[in-house]
Amino acid sequence: MAYYRTPHDVTTLPAWQALTEHRKAMQDFSMREAFNEDPQRFNEFTLSSSGLFLDYSKNLINAETRELLVNLANEVGLKEAIKAQYDGEPVNSSENRPALHTALRRPVGDKLMVNGTNVMPEVHKVLNQITDLVGRIHDGLWRGYTEKPITDVVNIGIGGSFLGPELVSEALLSYAQKGVRCHYLANIDGTELHELTAKLRAETTLFIVSSKTFSTLETLKNATAARAWYLAQGGSEAELYRHFIAVSSNNAAAVAFGIREENIFPMWDWVGGRYSLWSAIGLPIALAIGMSNFKELLSGAYTMDQHFQNASFEQNMPVLLGLLGVWYGNFWGAQSHAILPYDHYLRNITKHLQQLDMESNGKSVRQDGVPVKTETGPVIWGGVGCNGQHAYHQLLHQGTQLIPADFIVPIVSFNPVSDHHQWLYANCLSQSQALMLGKTREEAEAELRAKGMPEEEVQRVAPHKVIPGNRPSNTIVCERISPRRLGALVAMYEHKVFVQSVIWGTNAFDQWGVELGKELGKGVYSRLVGSEETPAEDASTQGLINYFRGRHRG
């Protein structure tokens, strides 16, 4: 395992021990006081790159914390790990594969040898194929079985074959090309298919069956149901090729489904599902926003890739965000991390980052199979502001858990209404400010007295009004959500996740835990439909099967 310094027990490294000591010294650290004492704190803990501005000054850190965290990154060999990942070494050790999403963003003419083959010509060949398809659909040259142009594209896919494309095509709605509407069909729940097809006409609809493995149950069931719907609407088997295309690395299975070979867009085993929006899995994005905007997205991500590889760790956004996550998760006991976009178009970023982070860092053994001795990935949750302020922010402010948060906010709205955007921005800032400042007992009491409340009442109510404060957050600001900046933002989080996996010595690119549920699902299904007579492995599952069988109609 030469590609980076794993296996390692990170807890035995000198930097980890120094951080353990430092954590004790930081027990009474007050952000309020730190800001009062150091007028340069904001400048000291902010940086810009790739069209993004990061303020991480509202964290439980000082310059020494940063230095110790950077030492940790150095001691685990992060620099070499980044190089290994970019160079195509098998950083996904349990599957013996590289993880080369960065190759998908590299410019034409670059060379990257993987197992003796330069993969870059293949990457750009597929981009050209996408360009061709997008052009034909946008120009009305790709026709359905009644010779009408395509008006609706349905992406059938789940997980990474859905969340990234959905996030980006919705976030960049302002860049949407006229004439083609994109839809997503992910869940096996028939209601989703029912509601969607009710809005569509088969003769003008193109389905993209988007599945790296072409073996995912939900996707294959939906693709089969969509084909049945298309035939029932008047389409024929002979014209199926006009309405069904695929993105997959499993050519044989896609052909067996009935998709013509020339309509299968390849992807490679060296791209993980949750890192795949930059590949042909991004086809619905390119159809939604046009090819030149899709290339801008790639180029924004490439800029962040360069920053991640070349900037010093002290000035490196993904590295700092990753290290801050380690600081809170491993040294302050934080178990979750909130992602709070203040932008309606970014409302799906939390869902995408949930898969990206939790499927990547939800691990408990190291690359060498030895159990980790630390906590690993946090629960990622959150949602759009201001809505969250009127729902779950209460727990952020006064709950017993420490939950670090990322606020993401653009300066310019695509849809200005009166002074709404100023209020949105102000709310975003006031939330991170309230988390940091809190409200002391003295302040709470003074407020109540100022309202003329009797002293007895002041003493009764004041404890409820105390807000601990000192709660950490990052704020990520950009001018507005353009393809380029969004590319940089998503790539930044991809790299952050990688940084953490390198610290913990885990593999960010496999997901074996997901497989068990899939395997057991087959057994449960056969007992539900009666094709398996033996009882389920446990009485609870069998009881619930019986409950279903006794009541299910239809």
DSSP string, 373-425: SS--PPEEEE--TTGGGGTTHHHHHHSSS---EEEEEESS-SS--TTHHHHHH
Instruction: Determine the interface stretch with ligand F6P among 157-165, 293-301, 342-350, 459-467 (rule: CB under 6 A).
Output: 157-165
Piece in contact with ligand F6P (CB under 6 A), picked from 129-137, 145-153, 211-219, 492-500? 211-219
Closer of 138 and 212 to ligand F6P (Cβ)? 212
Closest C-alpha to 89, from 79, 76, 100: 100
Q: Kindly report the CA angle at 251 between 246 and 256, in degrees rounded to 5? A: 85
- Beta-ladder partners of 46: 55
Residue 159 touching ligand F6P (CB under 6 A): yes
The pair of three-digit structure tokens given for residue 461, joined into one six-digit string: 């109510």
CA dist 426 and 403 (Å) reads 21
Which residues are within 8 A (CB) of 173 and not within 5 positions of it... i.e. 6 or more apart?
345
Closest approach, Cβ 161 to ligand F6P, in A, equals: 4
What stretches of 142-194 adopt beta strand conformation (E)?
152-156, 181-185
Residue nearer to ligand F6P on the CB measure, 100 or 320: 100
Q: Which of 33, 518, 522, 537 is catalytic?
A: 518
Q: Is 552 a catalytic residue?
A: no
Q: Is 469 exposed, middle or buried (0-12, 13-18, 19+ CB in 10 A)?
A: middle
Cβ atoms of residues 264 and 349 within 8 Å: no
Compute the distance between CA of residue 437 and CA of residue 430 in angstroms, rounded to an integer.
Answer: 10
Q: Which amino acid is at 481?
A: I
Least CB distance to ligand F6P at residue 219 (A): 5
Please work out the total of residues on this chain that contact ligand F6P, with binding judged by CB under 6 A. Answer: 14
Instruction: Indicate the residue among 98 and 410 with the shorter CB distance to ligand F6P.
Output: 98
Q: Residue 273 interacts with ligand F6P (CB under 6 A)?
A: yes
Asked if residue 279 binds ligand F6P (CB under 6 A), the reply is no
The reply to whether 216 sits near ligand F6P by the rule CB under 6 A is yes
Give 270 or 407: the residue with its C-beta nearer to ligand F6P: 270
Query: Of 210-218, 221-229, 339-347, 375-383, which segment contacts ligand F6P by CB under 6 A?
Result: 210-218
Q: Which of 113, 514, 529, 544 binds ligand F6P (CB under 6 A)?
A: 514
* Cα 424 to Cα 437: distance, rounded to the nearest angstrom: 20
Among 6, 57, 93, 219, binds ligand F6P (CB under 6 A): 219
Nearest-CA neighbor of 274 among 208, 205, 335, 358? 358
Residues 281-300 that bind ligand F6P (CB under 6 A): none
Termini Cα distance of the chain: 54
Q: Which of 359, 406, 494, 510 binds ligand F6P (CB under 6 A)?
A: 359
Among 41-49, 156-164, 231-239, 528-536, which window interacts with ligand F6P (CB under 6 A)?
Answer: 156-164
Our measurement of the distance from residue 340's CA atom to the centroid of its chain's CA atoms, rounded to an integer in Å, reads 13
Q: Mark out the alpha helices in 413-511 (DSSP H runs).
A: 420-437, 441-450, 455-465, 483-504
DSSP code at position 356: I
Nearer to ligand F6P, 131 or 213 (CB): 213
Interface with ligand F6P by CB under 6 A: which range of 97-105, 132-140, 155-163, 461-469?
155-163
Q: How far is the CB of 272 from ligand F6P (least distance, A)?
A: 7
Q: Tell me whether residue 160 or residue 322 sits nearer to ligand F6P (CB atom).
A: 160
Catalytic residue among 390, 451, 464, 552: 390
Choose the stretch contacting ligand F6P; rule: CB under 6 A; options: 159-167, 335-343, 445-453, 466-474. Answer: 159-167
Distance between CA atoms of residues 93 and 112, nearest Å? 20
Q: Is 295 a catalytic residue?
A: no
* 360 makes contact with ligand F6P (CB under 6 A): no
155 binds ligand F6P (CB under 6 A): no
Q: Are 287 and 168 in contact (CB under 8 A)?
A: no
Query: Could you say which residues in the range 39-98 bind ligand F6P, by CB under 6 A?
Result: none
Is 178 annotated as catalytic?
no
Least distance to ligand F6P, CB of residue 509, Å: 10
| Cis geometry, peptide bond prior to residue 428 (ω within 30 degrees of 0) | no
Q: Which of 367, 498, 511, 536 binds ligand F6P (CB under 6 A)?
A: 511
- What is the smallest separation between the CB atom of 384 and ligand F6P, expressed in angstroms? 23
Cβ nearer to ligand F6P, comparing 391 with 514: 514
Residue 211 interacts with ligand F6P (CB under 6 A)? yes
Catalytic-role residue among 359, 363, 494, 496: 359
**Closest CB 97 distance from ligand F6P, rounded Å:** 13
Q: What angle do CA 30, 34, 36 make, to 5 degrees?
A: 115
Other Cβ atoms closer than 10 A to 237? 10
Nearest to 52 by CA among 311, 283, 282: 311
Residue from 51, 98, 144, 160 that binds ligand F6P (CB under 6 A)? 160
| Active site residues per annotation | 359, 390, 518
Residues that bind ligand F6P (CB under 6 A): 158-161, 211-213, 216, 219, 273-274, 359, 511, 514
